[in-house]
Amino acid sequence: MPVVVVESPAKAKTIEKYLGGDYRVLASFGHVRDLPPKDGSVDPDHEFDMKWEVAADSRKHLKAIKDALKDDQNLILATDPDREGEAISWHLLEALAPALKKGAEVNRVTFNAITKAAVTEAMARPRQIDQPLVDAYLARRALDYLVGFKLSPVLWRKLPGAKSAGRVQSVCLRLIVDREMEIEAFKAREYWSVHARLATPGGDEYDATLVSLAGKRLERFDLATAEQAAMAVSAVASRELKVASVAAKPASRNPWPPFMTSTLQQEASRKLGMGAKACMSAAQRLYEAGLITYMRTDGIDMAPEAVMAARDAIKAKFGENYLPKSPRMYKNKAKNAQEAHECIRPTDMMMSTDRLKLNADDQRKLYDLIWKRTIASQMEAARMERTTVEIASPDNQVGLRATGQVMLFDGFLRVYDQGRDDDEGEDSARLPVIAEGEAARLVAKSFEAEMAKAREKGGEAISAPAGQRGAPGMLADDGARVAARQHFTQAPPRYTEATLVKRMEELGIGRPSTYASIVTTIQDREYVLKDKNRLIPEDKGRLVTIFLLKYFPRYVSYDFTADLENELDEISAGDRLWREVLGRFWKDFSKALEGTSELRITEVLDAIDEALAPHLYPPRADGGDPRECPLCGQGRLNLKTARSGGAFIGCTNYPKCRYTRPLSAPDGEQPLGDRVLGEDAGDPISLKTGRFGPYVQRGEATEENPKPPRASIPKGWDAAALELEKAVQLLALPRPIGPHPEDGVLVEAGIGRFGPYVKHGSKYANIADVDEVFTIGMNRAVEVLASKQTRGRAAAAAPLREMGDHPDGGAIQVMSGRYGPYVKWEKVNATLPRDVTPEDLTLDQALELITAKAAKSPKKAAKKPAAKKAAAKPAAAKTAKAKAKAKAKPAAKAAKPKAAPKE
């Protein structure tokens, strides 16, 4: 029977079910070949010849495919329908070539969804491997290899602690570093806005904002100070107001197009808090289960039959009012038509989430997002009415505006509304019925509650002139009818994974299949820290970026990277030759590499130090030299790196002066400098800041005592407010509590790597409060230790079903797991197929699953049949003899360490 090869076993199982017994479907488990991770795998001197290597894990998968081809030489390559999938098919064909006889039939099929109809149709329309797509893959792989294996060693030699560079990775990192430097350079600017609560003659209230003063339209910064704001408040409060005009205009909002890869990652981040990697992993499982179409795509168009299915679903679920007269068509924005596929959509439009049998919560939530976006994309527009009311004084010296919005028909918004990265400030307030020419009365005490809240928050109240009152950040007239609010411009926000992917897409950097891996890589390299969903550059990432900008500016240029992506797209379209593109790139890149060969580390550090000077040495309040050492007053501050890769600021007067501080401090705070807290027992006790944060030190380092006693400041303590008494207590840790009442062994309290603890001999028990370390007594310590000893593991989860006993002994149970239900026997855990529920599982099926799982991982087999016990006796005797022989060996020889693995 013909041999069909796909990437994953889950996909293979689903496709085999659709094709029936006439085909044999096997999995390659992804790429079977790759470039060896060593220099020379791509040879620029010989037309970029590549040396491929079959991965160790892939040999057994290739063997299984070769064995299957012995019976039938009809090979069908059914890997994913994109450039990467085409490359896997090409690699498979190259690796299987020796096993294929003359006349063997090899075909390539692709399908955008793993459904019976899509698979059957694809099998009826086979084709050959698309060589331009393969060429584009080869060009990308060679480029990424050359940048990684040629540029990374330069980083290792010239910038201690740097880990790697990448063609797109480094540009992505630059985006984050550039944004952080924008934030650091940002200077907040003050401005004020003035508001009034007005009432119609009938008593209905509404809010209005001052938009003109003294006959002039107000711009954002026209009211820049509290004094100007106070004058504006007086101007409004002292005048009668009338409605000058009322304008109501119809408006509509059209739905967003269906998802492509980048927009799915952005929405999953905004709404579900899923990172790009987690999003694509969940989407992959949904695709392999046949629930959604292919998830790596830059297309937003939908197949005609899918559009009609979506319209049928809308009509059935929401009624004809929500169905537009004609289908909505979305223009494909793909860079290259050959790599564009259908949008990401459900394969069955009627399959809403409530009808779906999915145990994995992340897959359920992601499917719900995809289904709603797809259905909404074909729904009627939302219709609303936007009203603008202009209010003015009779002398036209004061003008206010009230805006509101009324939803007339929710349309697609009934199903889906796109999330936002930051507040876009859309006004959706409701307005009462307002007539042109009617009086607009100021409402007394309208801002009393807001003023009270401002005072409760604390802070310095704004100084108010006569007839007005001030609160922190606010001013109001005595009647609290008109108020002014203080504002400050905000720095640009740090990137989230969603906004970073969006920005990369806007710049044309990377492609849908690469976004998740790029964002993950820069975090794994410790170049970027993810905190509260925001991406913050680490010092190491900042140094790498500045180094590349200084010595390789072209290769971290946004335009250059985007242009190169376009050239790669042209290769996949057959419009360029991949070796020519590589040749032009390598010619200039190799020259740039040669230009750094003579660089010394000190030169590199000096160049980076100069480039980062505005960030590292901000102007001092007293106007002094920002590089002057604040501790000794003689040395100058400059950039230093440690072998660990950390960077810090140190004094040139080292080792006489040991002043250090980190490159940056959280939230824009100025890093702490060294200071002496006082003396204890004749030793100066100092507060210092090192590469790993603030710490206290007893005495000073000398040649005789290069490492004086030190103690890190515990988390939660304010280093700036630290006093001598607390510092001495820290340096005295661990603190002896006394001998244990049962065995007399000393009990101590201290702060370790995992927080505060009490210790009895070799036994540790954590305590919750750091401050308790200095006060805990014996009774409490014994209680904590006893609690740790008696506290076992959490109670095991109850099984979903008890299936009975295994023939070899031991109960078989069905358990609930993170990735769905599974069968458990001894140490063997076998996942249930997606089409089998715990309630329908039979004992025979359970035994088959256990046998198959144990065969794949024989180390997990729990025990052998009882019949073989007698045969095990000689082996047991042999083991006992071996143990006795081992005991007789010299201790030194027995303790010989194993050789460290090669890197």
- Among 152-161, 654-663, 741-750, top mean pLDDT goes to 741-750
Of the candidates 383, 387, 381, the one whose C-alpha atom is nearest the C-alpha of residue 249 is 387
Contacts 24+ apart (CB under 8 A), 626-635: 629/653, 629/657, 629/659, 630/659, 630/673, 630/674, 631/657, 631/659, 631/673, 631/674, 632/656, 632/657, 632/659, 635/659
User: What are the pLDDT digits (tens) for 682-736?
Assistant: 888 888 766 567 888 888 777 777 788 999 888 878 777 788 888 999 999 999 9
User: What are the pLDDT digits (tens) for 844-878?
Assistant: 888 888 888 887 764 444 444 444 444 444 444 44
Confidence of residue 797 (pLDDT cuts 50, 70, 90): low
Is the separation of the CB atoms in 696 and 685 below 8 Å?
yes
User: What are the pLDDT digits (tens) for 520-537?
Assistant: 899 988 899 988 889 999
Q: What is the mean pLDDT of residues 53-65?
A: 91
Rg (CA), the chain: 35
Rounded CA separation 78/86 (Å): 9
Rounded CA separation 295/343 (Å): 8
Residues forming the active site: 294
Of the candidates 675, 666, 670, 668, the one whose C-alpha atom is nearest the C-alpha of residue 695 is 675
Is the separation of the CB atoms in 434 and 390 below 8 Å?
no
What's the pLDDT at 818? 67
Rounded CA separation 654/661 (Å): 14
Confidence of residue 753 (pLDDT cuts 50, 70, 90): confident
- DSSP sequence for 46-109: GTTEE--EE-HHHHHHHHHHHHHHTT--EEEE---SSHHHHHHHHHHHHHHGGGPPTT-EEEE-
- The token pair at 408 is 């007339």
User: What are the pLDDT digits (tens) for 467-496?
Assistant: 999 999 999 999 999 999 999 999 999 999
Residues of the chain above pLDDT 90, percent:
48
Confidence of residue 540 (pLDDT cuts 50, 70, 90): confident
Q: What is the mean pLDDT of residues 83-99?
A: 92
Select the more confidently predicted residue: 655 or 43. Answer: 43
Average pLDDT value for the chain: 85
Is the separation of the CB atoms in 306 and 292 below 8 Å?
no
Q: How far is CA 40 from CA 45, 49, 145, 149, 152, in A?
A: 10, 10, 10, 9, 14
Rounded CA separation 678/723 (Å): 9
